[in-house]
Amino acid sequence: MVFAAGGFKVKLYDIAQQQLTTALENVRKQMKELEESGFLKGTLSAEKQLALISVCTDMKAAVEGATFIQECTPENLELKKMIFSQLDLIVDDSVILSSSTSCLLPSKLFTGLKHVKQCIVSHPVNPPYFVPLVEIVPHPETDPSVTEKTYALMKKVGQSPVKLNREIEGFVLNRLQYAVISEAWRLVGVCISNYCERYREGMKLVLNTFGPVPEFSGEIEQKINQAMSEKVPAVPKHLGARREWRDDCLIGLAKLKKQMKSN
C-alpha cells in the first residue's frame, strides 16, 4: 500500500495463492476506507493505486524487471537466508535486495551472497502505513549508493527513513523498545505470551549486549498471559478488532496532526 501510494507498480509474491487473494481483498478494503475518510496517501485514487498492485506465486516472474525487492517473511534467520539465496541466483546486478527484519544483522543475512553489495535492511514499523519510520541498515559490504537509493525511495513514498552507519543488534528502535520492555518486566512483569513467543530470542539477543537479561518465560509469563487473555482473547476476531481499534486511533492522531499544522 505504501509503495502503490507512491505511484510504483508492486508485485506481491507468496507460495500460497490464498495468501495473495486475501491480501488483495484486505488492501482493497483498507484503501476504500482510507479514501472515504480522506486519509488515503498519495495523489492517485484508490482504484488507480489498486491497479498498480498484482500478485504472483512464481519467484522468478515476481522479480522480473524489479528495481527494489522487499522481503517480509517471519523473523526466522534460516528462512530469510534461504529466500535471499534463491533471489541471489535470479536477480541482476542493479536490483536492491532489502529485508524487513527487525533485528537480524545484515552480516548474518547476506554474507556470502554474490549480490551482497546490493543488500540492505529496511526495517519498517507496524503498521507502516500509519507509522512511517524505516530503519536502513547496510551490510559491511553494501555499496553506499544502495543505502542512498533506499533512503531516497523511502522518502519518495512518504516514509521517514533513518540511516545507521553500521549494524548493531536490534538496530535503534528495538534497542530502545527492548530496554523499556526489559525494565517493565523487572518492575511488573508486563509481557504477553504471544509477544514473548515471537520475539523472546530476538529480545535476549539484543539485550545480552546491555547486561543481565530476563528470560521472558516462566511463572510471570503465565500470570500475565492469563490476565491479558481475559481482557483480549487470543482468537483472530478479537485480535482483528484490536488492530482495527489501533488503526482508528492512529487515524485520529493523523487528523489531529493535520489540524495542528493548519492552525
At 129-153, the pLDDT tens digits run 989 999 999 999 999 999 999 999 9
Helix then strand then coil, % of the chain, to nearest 5: 55, 10, 35
Average pLDDT score over residue span 217-244: 77
247 or 173, which is more confident: 173
- Split at pLDDT 50, 70, 90, the class of 201 is confident
What CA–CA distance (Å, rounded) separates 258 from 31? 19
| Cα–Cα–Cα angle for 118, 166, 97, rounded to 5 degrees | 20
Is the pTM here over 0.95, yes or no?
no
- Split at pLDDT 50, 70, 90, the class of 188 is low
What CA–CA distance (Å, rounded) separates 242 from 232? 8
129 or 219, which is more confident: 129
Instruction: Judge residue 182's burial from the number of C-beta atoms within 10 Å of its C-beta, 0-12 exposed, 13-18 middle, 19 or more buried.
Output: buried
Give the chain's length. Answer: 263
Q: What mean pLDDT is reported for the chain?
A: 90
Contacts of 173 (CB under 8 A, 6+ apart): 102, 123, 125, 133, 135
Report the chain's terminal Cα–Cα distance, integer Å. Answer: 29
What CA–CA distance (Å, rounded) separates 168 from 176? 12
Note the pLDDT of residue 24: 96
- Asked if omega into 233 is within 30° of 0 (cis), the reply is no
Note the pLDDT of residue 221: 80
pLDDT above 70: residue 13? yes
- Split at pLDDT 50, 70, 90, the class of 189 is low
Average pLDDT score over residue span 163-186: 89
What CA–CA distance (Å, rounded) separates 161 from 27? 23
Contacts of 121 (CB under 8 A, 6+ apart): 98, 99, 100, 101, 104, 106, 109, 135, 136, 137, 138, 167, 171
Note the pLDDT of residue 234: 67
- Split at pLDDT 50, 70, 90, the class of 97 is very high
What's the one-letter identity of residue 207?
L
